[in-house]
Amino acid sequence: MSAFIVSRKTIDHLVTALDTYVPYPCPSDNPTRRGQILWDENIASVAHRYQDDDPAHLPGPIGETFTYTYAAPTRTLTPLEVYGLVNCYTYQSCEHPGWEDSRAYAYMRDLETALEFTLGKTREQIRALPDYDWPYDLDDDVQPPPPAPPDTRPTRYVSLTDTAKHLRGALKLAYPSVKFSVRSKSYSGGSSIAVFWTDGPIRSDVEKIVKPFSGARFDGLTDCKLAHTSEYQGEKVRWGTDHVFTSRSLSADFLRKVAVKVAATYNVPILEVRENVYEPSFAESGPLVPGTGHMHYGHDACVRDVIMHTAYATSALDKPRVRRIAIARQIA
């Protein structure tokens, strides 16, 4: 099995736990001495496990001197957290033959017994607790933030029609000059909203606004649809649509502007853009453009593909910055 040298903070907490849960009245056995004993035993175990490695490159803290001086932790661990830390240290320190005869082993055995008495549970019962976690190492002494209080607000269901109205309003506030087509659809497996527009902002900017109005997501691991709630305008809501899809079209006029820009940037001919019934097209594909492999699966792209790639990545708005607006936020 693998092993690593534990951090200085881990030793600090173990020494503190020994003073807290196990009485050691011997004056010569002070906290600094106990910490050095623990660390030396851990280092000896890792060195035995990785005998072919340079001692300076054993797995563990980088740039550490491994000369220990006790420092009282600023964070207080629970008995269950200390129990996990004991198991972590033991797991990393039991690799060499002298482990069970060492003082460090006696320390951990006494501490583990004291913690089991404090928790009122056996080793098997403690390890079966949902909050028990090991092996882990402490590399800082920061108190984790307290858990957020449960959200007891009632959840308001927003119908598919009303969800589409809120979505339209958000788009109107963000891009008042752009005409969006918002279409909602219900079907046996759920519902969805599709957003269409021509030119205007790039797709990723629009998705930042409309995607939070989705009421579900697809979990690829379980192959299932998972519903979730959101926060919107101070309320806890469940949107009436499962998914929101986006589709951006490009006009011939905008493509002509991009074609001129691409021609000047890459020193290639300006391609003719033709008007068609459904979408614009090009009179030709044009030559390959060196240095555009990232646009076309690692190969140099033709002028037509460079124009399309550039157009979809470029906003057609004079001021592409999005207004600051309140949008939905997924919370559960």
pTM: 0.58
Average pLDDT over residues 27-54: 86
- Indicate the pLDDT class of residue 332, thresholds 50, 70 and 90: low
Give the residue from 163, 173, 259 showing the smallest Cα distance to 212.
Answer: 163
Predicted pLDDT of residue 154: 93
Phi/psi class of residue 146: alpha, beta or left (left: φ > 0; alpha: ψ in -120 to 50)?
Answer: beta
Give the residue from 296, 309, 298 showing the smallest Cα distance to 259.
Answer: 309
Residue 172 has pLDDT above 70, yes or no: yes
Residue 28 has pLDDT above 60, yes or no: no
pLDDT digits (tens, 9 = 90+) for 190-245: 899 999 999 999 999 999 999 999 999 887 777 788 888 999 988 999 999 999 99
- Indicate the pLDDT class of residue 35, thresholds 50, 70 and 90: very high
Predicted pLDDT of residue 265: 93
Average pLDDT over residues 27-47: 87
Q: Which residues of 99-118 are buried (b: 16+ CB within 10 A; e: fewer)?
A: beebebbebbeebbebbbee
- Indicate the pLDDT class of residue 79, thresholds 50, 70 and 90: very high
Predicted pLDDT of residue 271: 95
